[in-house]
């Protein structure tokens, strides 16, 4: 067996086509067998009725012209059909043969009352006679029979046709399986070659699409989307690594310098030593906070928290978050106002984690307060439309340039104007991760002036 044939037989499509072919041939065979059985039974019944009709004709002839009329009618019948496919026998009361082409009544036991079977008189013998016996009014015996040659010929022809049909069905099934498998294997080879190139390091290679929108095209599109997403995650990891190295290098360098100074400097007083230890603890806390935030972000993005979701009304969460940040905002004379739009007044129920959703809202409010100018105002809007809950938070800060509105959602990314403010560049990353955990999303838009943060979550069903 060649490699190509062996590979074809191992393919799923070939096995499915072969299975369908076997099932189709089997069902067709069963149907034809049932059809043959029914047709043969019907034709046998029809043959019996023909024999009985001939018996009645001869019996009626006996009633008109007596036994001589029956003899003459049998002679005419045999003259018209001398091929031996019809059989007649007329015996008198003493058993003497008067007419017919049968030598005697068949010795075989009757299959049914007054019914007999024997080989046909036709030469060569190719069928069986169905014979009926009748005793006439003068005690003479009449036997009439026809053979089942036509039935046998019909069943044989039907069986030959069935055999040819089976062979044709099997052949067409194998051809269809080969073509289907070849087509399937061709698509799979393309996907395998693409995967091989990616494994070898060509991460930008993608599965080509044919534009047919069939199952393989949709699978290829899905794989390409997956590869794009993996590429985005790898790029995000790369940027995160670079950001971690950049953001943690400074506190770690300061810690090392202070430790070096403490090692070689003259003994310091207790107050100075305490100040040094406090500074080192702050730097360590900063590093630990970054790593804790990154671990929390990874947990959220893994999706494991989705199993504990419950129904949550966002209206109280928004109220609580505003109450939490009003005091901080009031110190800088920043006003925070809440607007409930449309159907949101009746409640905004989502399936989710209450603590995570509260953290997402708080992070957005924290950014709005942090970047709003003194004496500015922050607008919060809660809306419900098309089964999507939307939380919009508008500030009057410097805004985010269009080219950076997606980048700020990456880990540890901080724009130049925000580096002077406290934080680690993980707030928006956590917000988007929480939104996507809840099958929603978060975007930044132009607030004209300022920034509009839009958090969208699907309404609970």
- pLDDT single digits (tens) 301-344: 666 777 788 999 999 999 999 999 988 888 888 989 998 887 77
Reduced to 3 states, what is the DSSP secondary structure of residue 144? Answer: strand
Q: pTM to 2 decimals?
A: 0.51
Res 290: pLDDT: 72
Task: Give the model's pLDDT for residue 289.
Answer: 74
Residue 293 shares a structural domain with residue 315: no
pLDDT at 252: 74
Task: Please state, in angstroms and rounded to a whole number, the distance separating the CA atoms of residues 7 and 244.
Answer: 50
Instruction: Report how far residue 418's alpha carbon sits from residue 400's, in angstroms, rounded to the nearest whole number.
Output: 10
Per-residue confidence (pLDDT) for residue 9, from 0 to 100: 53
**110 and 240 housed in the same domain:** no
- Split into its structural domains, the chain has a count of 3
Q: In terms of residue numbers, what domain contains 434?
A: 305-458
Q: What percent of the chain has pLDDT over 70?
A: 83
For residues 57 and 183, which has the higher predicted lDDT (pLDDT)?
Answer: 57
294 pLDDT higher than 50 = yes
Domain boundary (264, 297, 330) is at 297
Residue 181 lies in a domain: no
In a domain, 109, yes or no: yes
Q: Are residues 265 and 341 in the same domain?
A: no
pLDDT band at 441 (very low <50, low <70, confident <90, very high): very high
- Among 104, 127, 153, give the residue marking a domain's end: 153
Look at residue 440 in the predicted model and tell me its pLDDT.
92
**Of 245 and 148, more confident:** 148
The whole-number pLDDT of residue 401 equals: 82
Q: Assess whether 446 and 329 both reside in one domain.
A: yes
Residues 343 and 385 in one domain: yes
Burial grade of 427 (CB within 10 A; 0-12, 13-18, 19 or more)? buried
Confidence of residue 88 (pLDDT cuts 50, 70, 90): very high
Q: Does residue 376 share a domain with residue 292?
A: no
pLDDT, one tens digit per residue, over 237-266 is: 676 666 666 666 767 777 777 777 766 665
| Half-sphere exposure in the Cβ direction for 137 (13 Å, CA) | 11
222 lies in a domain? Answer: yes
Give residue-wise pLDDT tens across range 351-410: 999 989 999 999 999 989 988 888 888 999 999 888 899 999 998 888 888 887 888 887
Q: What does the pLDDT read at residue 3?
A: 42
Where residue 448 falls (left for φ over 0; alpha for ψ -120 to 50; beta otherwise) is left
230: domain CATH number? 1.10.287.130
Closest CA to 354 of 304, 312, 299, 296: 312
Q: Does residue 382 share a domain with residue 289?
A: no
The residues with which 350 forms a beta bridge, in sequence order, are 312
Rounded mean pLDDT of the chain? 81
Per-residue model confidence as pLDDT tens digits over 194-239: 888 878 777 778 888 877 777 778 888 888 888 887 777 677 667 6
Please identify, among 277, 297, 317, the residue that sits at the C-terminal boundary of a domain: 297
With the CA atoms of 361, 366, 367 and 372 taken in that order, what torsion angle do they form, in degrees rounded to the nearest 10? Answer: 120
| Mean pLDDT for the stretch of residues 118-147 | 89
Across residues 144-164, what is the average pLDDT? 86
Residue 92 and residue 36 share a domain: yes
What pLDDT, on the 0 to 100 scale, is given for residue 420? 47
For residue 449, whether the previous peptide bond is cis, meaning omega lies within 30 degrees of 0, is: yes
Q: Are 9 and 87 members of one domain?
A: yes
Averaged pLDDT, 33-52: 86
pLDDT at 299: 73
pLDDT digits (tens, 9 = 90+) for 3-28: 455 555 556 666 676 777 778 777 87
Which pLDDT does position 265 carry in this prediction?
64
95-107, pLDDT tens digit by residue?
Answer: 899 999 988 888 7
In eight-state DSSP terms, residue 108 is: S
The residue-averaged pLDDT of 78-85 equals: 88
């Amino acid at each position: 067996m060649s490699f190509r044939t062996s590979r074809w037989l191992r393919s799923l499509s070939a096995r499915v086509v072969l299975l369908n072919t076997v099932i189709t041939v089997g069902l067709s065979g069963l149907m034809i067998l049932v059809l043959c059985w029914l047709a043969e039974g019907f034709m046998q019944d029809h043959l019996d009725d023909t024999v009985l009709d001939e018996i009645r004709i001869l019996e009626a002839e006996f009633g008109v012209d007596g036994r001589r009329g029956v003899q003459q009618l049998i002679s005419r019948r045999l003259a018209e059909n001398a091929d031996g496919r019809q059989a007649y026998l007329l015996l008198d009361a003493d058993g003497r043969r008067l007419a017919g082409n049968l030598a005697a009544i068949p010795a075989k036991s009757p299959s049914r009352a007054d019914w007999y079977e024997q080989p046909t008189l036709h030469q060569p013998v190719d069928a069986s006679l169905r014979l009926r016996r009748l005793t006439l009014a003068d005690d003479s015996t009449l036997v009439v029979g026809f053979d089942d040659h036509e039935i046998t010929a019909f069943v044989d022809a039907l069986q030959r046709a069935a055999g040819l049909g089976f062979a044709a069905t099997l052949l067409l099934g194998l051809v269809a399986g080969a073509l289907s498998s070849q087509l399937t294997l061709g698509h799979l080879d393309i996907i395998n070659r693409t995967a091989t190139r990616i494994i070898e390091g060509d991460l930008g290679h993608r599965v080509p699409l044919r534009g047919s929108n069939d199952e393989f095209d949709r699978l290829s599109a899905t794989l390409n989307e997956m590869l794009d997403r993996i590429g985005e995650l790898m790029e995000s990891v790369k940027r995160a690594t670079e950001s971690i190295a950049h953001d943690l290098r400074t506190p770690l360098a300061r810690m090392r310098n202070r430790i070096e100074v403490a090692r070689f400097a003259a003994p310091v007083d207790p107050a100075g030593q305490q100040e040094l230890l406090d500074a080192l603890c702050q730097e360590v806390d900063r590093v630990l906070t970054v790593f804790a935030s990154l671990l929390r972000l990874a947990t959220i993005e893994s999706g494991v928290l989705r199993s504990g979701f419950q129904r949550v009304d966002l209206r109280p969460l928004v109220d609580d978050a505003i109450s939490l940040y009003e005091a901080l905002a009031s110190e800088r004379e920043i006003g925070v106002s809440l607007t409930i739009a449309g159907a949101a007044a009746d409640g905004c129920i989502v399936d989710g984690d209450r603590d995570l959703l509260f953290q997402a809202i708080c992070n957005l409010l924290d950014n709005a307060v942090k970047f709003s100018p003194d004496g500015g105002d922050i607008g919060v809007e809660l809306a419900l439309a098309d089964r999507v809950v939307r939380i919009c938070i508008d500030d009057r800060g410097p805004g985010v340039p269009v080219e950076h509105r997606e980048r700020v959602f990456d880990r540890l990314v901080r724009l130049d104007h925000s580096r002077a403010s406290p934080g680690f560049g993980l707030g928006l990353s956590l917000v988007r991760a929480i939104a996507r955990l809840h099958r929603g999303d978060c975007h930044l838009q132009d607030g004209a002036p300022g920034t509009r943060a839009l958090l969208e979550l699907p309404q609970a069903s």
